[in-house]
Amino acid sequence: MKFSTKEVKEQGDFAKKSKLAPILYSWDALYERATDKPFGSNELSAKDEARNQLRDEIMIKRGFDIEECESPEEEIETFLSEENISYYFDENGNMVKLRFDRDKSLKHI
């Protein structure tokens, strides 16, 4: 089934207004979305917000500030790969924590 550009835009507008199914992004997806975006763009602001929230998580759980490291993004990648919690973010970069229980079902925490 093909949609016209107008129909796709209308569907996108509806999805943005809908509170039923928020779009969640991984750190990698937010980072990729922000690549080559101009200063002040929504995508770059969302990535920066997610980075700051991950920075706070790392300070709480690991006791150091990623800003003092040579590569803060690499520290984030290391942290995310070692955690049992999958971190996801909304389109503004606000953190939503999700985890997998032993029964493999997705639970919000």
- Read off the pLDDT of residues 4-61 as tens digits, 9 standing for 90 and up: 444 434 444 555 555 566 789 999 999 999 999 999 999 999 999 999 999 999 999 9
**Angle at the Cα of 2 from the Cα atoms of 7 and 15, rounded to 5 degrees:** 40
Determine the Cα–Cα distance for residues 22 and 38; give it in Å rounded to an integer: 25
- Read off the pLDDT of residues 87-100 as tens digits, 9 standing for 90 and up: 899 999 999 877 65
CA neighbours closer than 13 Å in the CB half-sphere of residue 2: 2
> What token pair was written down for 109?
């925490």
Determine the Cα–Cα distance for residues 39 and 93; give it in Å rounded to an integer: 16
